[in-house]
Amino acid sequence: MSTPTPRSVLEPRPSALDVDAFVAHYGDIYEHSPWVAEAAWRQGLTPAHDTPDALAELMGEMLKQASSDEQIAVIRAHPDLAGKAALAGELTSDSTREQAGAGLDQCTPEEFARFERLNKTYKDKFGFPFVIAVKGLDRHAILRAFEARIDNDLATERRTAIEQINRIGKLRLRDRLTR
C-alpha cells in the first residue's frame, strides 16, 4: 500500500491511536459491534490503513474471518429497514442518516406495511434482519432487492449480508472524510 495523501486520510489517523482510542473513534463503524474495530487494531495498523478504503478492507477481513456466531451477531445488530426502531427514533445516528438518505422516512403507509411484512417474512426465514447498504438507493430499489433476496438460501443470504455490512462500513468510513 502506498502512503495516503493528506486529504484522503482519516482523522484521527487510525495508525496513531492506541487500542482504546481507536475503538472509541472507529468502534461504531460496525453496528453495535466494536469488537470488529478492536480485532483490526490487534491485527496491526500502519499508515497505509489511515485511508477509509484500506481501513474498511482490514475491518471487513476481521468480519469475514469471524466465527459464524460472531457474524450472525453482527447481522442481528442491524435494525429492520423502515421498522419500528426507525419509527420510534431508536436507530444509531449513522442508521438514521442512511435510512433517511434513502427516503425510508418518507414511506407511504402502504410502503411501511410492505416493509413490515417483508421484514417479518425475512426474519422468520433467516433468523436475522435484511441488511443492505442503502446509500445511493431509494426505497423502491430497496424493496425490489428485498423481494429478490428473500428467495435465497441461508448460506447465500448470510454471505450477502456480510458483504453488505462491509460495504456499509466502507461507506461510513468514507463519510468521515466529509464530516
Active site residues: 78
Instruction: Of 149, 141, 99, give the one whose Cα is nearest residue 121.
Output: 149
CA pair distance 66, 80, nearest whole angstrom:
23
73 torsion bin: left (phi>0), alpha (psi -120 to 50), beta (else): alpha
Task: Please answer whether residues 164 and 131 qualify as being in contact, where contact means their C-beta atoms are separated by less than 8 angstroms.
Answer: yes
> Buried b / exposed e across 107-131, counting CB within 10 Å, b at 16+?
beeebbebbbebbeebeeebebbbb
3-state secondary structure 144-169: HHHHHHCCCCHHHHHHHHHHHHHHHH
